[in-house]
Amino acid sequence: MNSEEAAQNMVGYYSTVMPIIRQQPVFVQFSNHKELKTDNSPNQERAQAALRALSSSHVDTAALVVAPSSVLRVVVENLLYPVSLDALCQIFSKFGTVLRIIVFTKNNQFQALLQYAEGASAQAAKVSLDGQNIYNGCCTLRISFSKLTTLNVKYNNDKSRDFTRPDLPSGDGQPTMEHQAMATAFGPGIISASPYTGATHAFPPAFALQPGWF
């Protein structure tokens, strides 16, 4: 960087917004080196040329973190053990503030809609968790961006939760899906209120979540 102040500004900015390059999160931090020394080797010349090309391209770094939605659609495949709304909240909260969650069963698949406060959090969660297992060898997460921009939750219970509205009643356990936009986002298929239709085993007390989740 041209100055220490510029480096501090850059690190400070990317401590609040995670850049995504080629679907991979990038972490920015200070180095222990005070300066970089270069020589005339071919590798150094190529590296310097690449840096000059990047500097002259005027890349909009903000565009790298733009997500199409702050709402994720999560499908849990190979559902050998039940997955709760609270377990999903714990896992996905590692990547940002979760505002709302709705869980349901569609076409015999346990699914969830999950809304973050920021699109960058949704992007980071998708990159990090898509294809991962909640439990060893099963309950595989398949994550995509939803067409929805927000979730409408009327009840706080084991099937829907609005963490911004602790005053909501518990209701009858039915997730709210009254908007036409939500029905369109789900597409064809039958939606059931029961989230655990596909689970084939009862949850074993000794069975642990994947190491590193919590």
Q: Read off the tokens for 152.
A: 């409408």
Whole-number pLDDT of residue 18: 61
Whole-number pLDDT of residue 137: 87
Yes or no: domain 71-192 corresponds to CATH 3.30.70.330: yes
| Whether this model's pTM surpasses 0.85 | no
Taking a C-beta distance cutoff of 8 angstroms, is the pair 20, 118 a contact? no
- Strand 71-77 and strand 138-145: the pairing is antiparallel
Q: Hey, where are the domains in the chain? A: 1-29, 71-192
Q: Read off the tokens for 4.
A: 């220490």
Q: What is the full per-residue pLDDT of the chain (214 aa) written as tens digits?
A: 667 777 776 766 666 666 666 555 666 666 666 666 655 555 566 656 655 655 554 444 444 456 789 999 999 999 998 899 999 999 999 999 999 999 999 988 999 999 999 999 999 999 999 999 998 889 999 999 999 999 999 999 999 999 999 999 998 645 444 444 444 444 444 334 344 445 655 554 444 455 555 4
Whole-number pLDDT of residue 93: 95
Whole-number pLDDT of residue 55: 54
Q: Please give the Cα distance from 74 to 71 (Å, whole number).
A: 10
Whole-number pLDDT of residue 136: 86
DSSP letter for each residue of 125-173: HHHHHTT-EEETTEEEEEEEE-S-S-------SSSEEETT-TT---TTS
